[in-house]
Amino acid sequence: MKRKLRMGMVGGGQGAFIGSVHRIAATMDGKIELVAGAFSSDPVRSRASGKDLFLDPGRVYGSYEEMARGEAALSPEDRIDFVSIVTPNRSHFAIAKTFLQAGFHVICDKPITFDLREARRLRRIVEKTGKVFALTHNYSGYPMVKEARQLVRRGKLGQILKVVSEYPQGWLIHPIEKEGQKQAAWRTDPEQAGASCCVGDIGTHAEHLGRYITGLEIDSLCADLTTFVEGRRLEDDANILIRYRGGARGVLTASQISVGEENALNIRVYGTKASLEWHQERPNELIVKHPNGPEQIHRRGNSYNSKVVERATRLPAGHPEAFLEAFANIYLEAARAIDDAVSGRKVKEYDFPSVEDGVQGLAFVETVVKSSRSKTKWTKLIRT
């Protein structure tokens, strides 16, 4: 890289948790600087946020449309290279479309759009504009998740037979959406979140994690969605049986009413030769089990890790890394792609979730809802 990439941000104003996460992740490695933003649909709040971030007031906009126009009007030496979209998913499509068509690359929070229809349309726009589009399925940024994927790819597990993934949380055990908790309010509102709460918000992370590690594609699934909290409009618990193409089986559970669980995403993958296990809350450890040998705990920063892990790691062994570093890995890899695009270099293989992952994620969500509504019958994955 010859210079830092210039990032603009849509959303993520004062009080928004995920905006701060994206900013830390983006700038952690010194390759990206935040130079512009439309941090809120309320221009006053947007400006206040820009001030907190020490931005040039001239680059803080009252709306994303204004920002797209304003930045496009700047000279190539000044204007942003890409935009980071950190609003709720309802507005992703319109924002992403606007910036892509204005010539900017896009990094976008998940889920990609409001529904599958929009996701498919966005995919066409990405293809047509040829811009970089990265989706922050951040859990795939963890080094030991990448190591898990490598172990599968290199055949260390043999043929994959079974995938068990879980994502239990407990924060929605009470109807806090009625007590003004904003995070809960939009996620449980079908007009804002779409067809699903629990599966859309966290189930898709588990789905993406399984796909990222194993490469398996879902053939059909059988889902049981439940709304435990009275009066809630979308499901807060999901239990799903999965059949993969090729015969492997899966179980995926997600829950927001599992009291006492914080963010306990975990996955186990069983193959004919070995199995592996990873827990998000202890992310530096990858457990590998063989039929005739002791259980192994692989850790980052060691010579026995694959090269891919080395590239996704900033610290030596025993110096733990965590959520923000994994998130930053998504940005770092997207930045490689954007820098290649900016510099006119040949496209390489990149390791970040793409628009296609977003489409697959929403196909999963909508198939789950369909299966559950059909009184939980086996349902083929909706074609994308």
Binders in 299-358 for a copy of itself, by CB under 8 A? 299, 301-304, 314-325
Shortest Å distance, C-beta 372 to a copy of itself = 11
The reply to whether 204 sits near a copy of itself by the rule CB under 8 A is no
The reply to whether 8 sits near a copy of itself by the rule CB under 8 A is no
Q: Which of 69, 128, 178, 290 binds a copy of itself (CB under 8 A)?
A: 290
Task: Sort residue 357 into left (φ over 0), alpha (ψ -120 to 50) or beta.
Answer: alpha
Shortest Å distance, C-beta 234 to a copy of itself = 16
Burial category of 15 from C-beta neighbours within 10 Å (exposed 0-12, middle 13-18, buried 19 and up): exposed
Q: Which of 23, 146, 208, 211 binds a copy of itself (CB under 8 A)?
A: 23
Task: Name which of residues 258 to 277 contact a copy of itself (CB under 8 A).
Answer: 258-264, 268, 270-275
Span from 60-68, 83-91, 296-304, 344-352 in contact with a copy of itself (CB under 8 A): 296-304
The number of angstroms, rounded, from the C-alpha of 138 to the middle of its chain's C-alpha atoms is: 5
Q: Which of 190, 295, 347, 373 binds a copy of itself (CB under 8 A)?
A: 295
Shortest Å distance, C-beta 255 to a copy of itself = 7
The reply to whether 297 sits near a copy of itself by the rule CB under 8 A is yes
At 48, the amino acid letter reads: A
Angle at 383 between CA 379 and CA 384, to 5 degrees: 140
Q: Cβ distance 73 to 80 under 8 Å?
A: no
Task: Sort residue 276 into left (φ over 0), alpha (ψ -120 to 50) or beta.
Answer: beta
The reply to whether 57 sits near a copy of itself by the rule CB under 8 A is no
Q: How many CA atoms lie within 13 A of 102 on its CB side?
A: 25
Contacts of 53 (CB under 8 A, 6+ apart): 23, 34, 37
Q: Cβ distance 2 to 343 under 8 Å?
A: yes
The reply to whether 24 sits near a copy of itself by the rule CB under 8 A is yes
CA dihedral of residues 352, 118, 203, 88 (deg, nearest 10): 90
Tokens of 16: 């928004």
Separation CA 159–CA 152 (nearest Å):
9
The reply to whether 74 sits near a copy of itself by the rule CB under 8 A is no
How many residues bind to a copy of itself according to rule CB under 8 A? 87
Name the strand (E) or helix (H) holding 360: helix 355-373
The number of angstroms, rounded, from the C-alpha of 315 to the middle of its chain's C-alpha atoms is: 23
Task: Name which of residues 137 to 166 contact a copy of itself (CB under 8 A).
Answer: 161-162, 164, 166
Shortest Å distance, C-beta 321 to a copy of itself = 5
Q: Which is nearer to a copy of itself, 60 or 96 (CB)?
A: 60
Q: Which is nearer to a copy of itself, 323 or 352 (CB)?
A: 323
Q: Which is nearer to a copy of itself, 115 or 237 (CB)?
A: 237
Q: Which is nearer to a copy of itself, 201 or 321 (CB)?
A: 321
Shortest Å distance, C-beta 129 to a copy of itself = 28
The reply to whether 217 sits near a copy of itself by the rule CB under 8 A is no
